[in-house]
Amino acid sequence: MHYLLLISSFFLVNQNPDPTKWEFFSKKINNNTYDIHLRAKIAKGWHVYSLFNDGGPGPASVHYEKNKILKSVGDVKEIGKVQRRYEKLFDAHVREVSSTIDFVQIMQRKDTSTKTPTTVTGFVKYITCNGTLCLPPKELPFSVDVR
């Protein structure tokens, strides 16, 4: 019986490909400062939980690998229309985004005299749900060139 449940769960999840499409890029603010963007476009009928979600399955998160050239400035910002609502699936109030979310981290050069290109790497962790089904938590690696 347990095998049947496991196989059913496997097929259910694999019939629902990830409804989020991510793009990762940087924007130069000035000679030493960059915005690192992790932007998700979320399919209609689905949502991703906010970085600041305090109910249900927990918040999304962004993790950066150490970089010899750049340092983070402040916290990751969340840009998008965040909705707070009651989620029956978890019997909790949640913060979620249903169309586009952009996680933005300001980064600055540690040594302002160098202009060496670098790459910012890490992963974004998130859960995507549609009100009746949640896909397993996903850790999506990213790599962003900074020039």
Sign of torsion, CA 69 74 76 78? negative
Asked whether residue 7 carries a pLDDT value surpassing 50, the answer given is no
**Domain-wise residue ranges, the chain:** 19-146
pLDDT tens per residue, range 91-102: 899 999 999 999
3-state secondary structure of 4: helix
Residues 32 and 52: their CA atoms lie apart, in Å, by 29
Q: Tell me what pLDDT residue 3 has.
A: 37
Single pTM value for the model: 0.85
Chain-centre distance of CA 90, in angstroms?
Answer: 21
pLDDT in tens, 14-59: 565 899 999 999 999 999 999 999 999 999 999 999 999 988 888 9
105 CB contacts (<8 Å, ≥6 apart)?
A: 35, 36, 62, 64, 72, 76, 77
- Written as one letter, the residue type at 28 is K
Decide if domain 19-146 falls under CATH 2.60.40.1250: yes
